[in-house]
Amino acid sequence: KQEVTQIPAALSVPEGENLVLNCSFTDSAIYNLQWFRQDPGKGLTSLLLIQSSQREQTSGRLNASLDKSSGRSTLYIAASQPGDSATYLCAVKGYAGANSKLTFGKGITLSVRP
């Protein structure tokens, strides 16, 4: 059974820092991996999706990398801002066809201090 781990559960950094959020998964046979952002009391918003054949994806100040063989992904946030404060979740999709299920990590709650 696929397990997704995100450590630490919470992180507090000063504004302007470059930071890395980690995600690890136990089964490397994945179809894709997604990073989501969740603001308090809100739904999830997809940030980046990396297909299993890709090594990284970039969107603005965000860069996500994928190392399938080691079961790891990282989300890099450049020049963090207070508006980046949220919970960040990663989710992997298994390879049992296009409709296989997503397995989520429990998320990392990020606080960026002004």
Binding site for another protein (CB under 8 A): 31-32, 34, 36, 41-46, 49, 51, 89, 91, 93, 98-99, 101-102, 104-107
Q: Give the residue with the Cβ less far from another protein, 8 or 41.
A: 41
* CA–CA distance, 114 with 102 (Å, rounded to integer): 35
CB of 15 to another protein, least distance (A): 28
Q: Give the residue with the Cβ less far from another protein, 36 or 112.
A: 36
In terms of Cβ atoms closer than 10 Å to its own Cβ (0-12, 13-18, 19+), residue 96 is: exposed
Residue recorded with tokens 């504004």? 15
Token pair of 26 as six digits: 């136990």
CB of 33 to another protein, least distance (A): 10
Tell me whether the omega of the peptide bond preceding residue 8 falls within 30 degrees of 0, making it cis.
yes
CB of 89 to another protein, least distance (A): 7
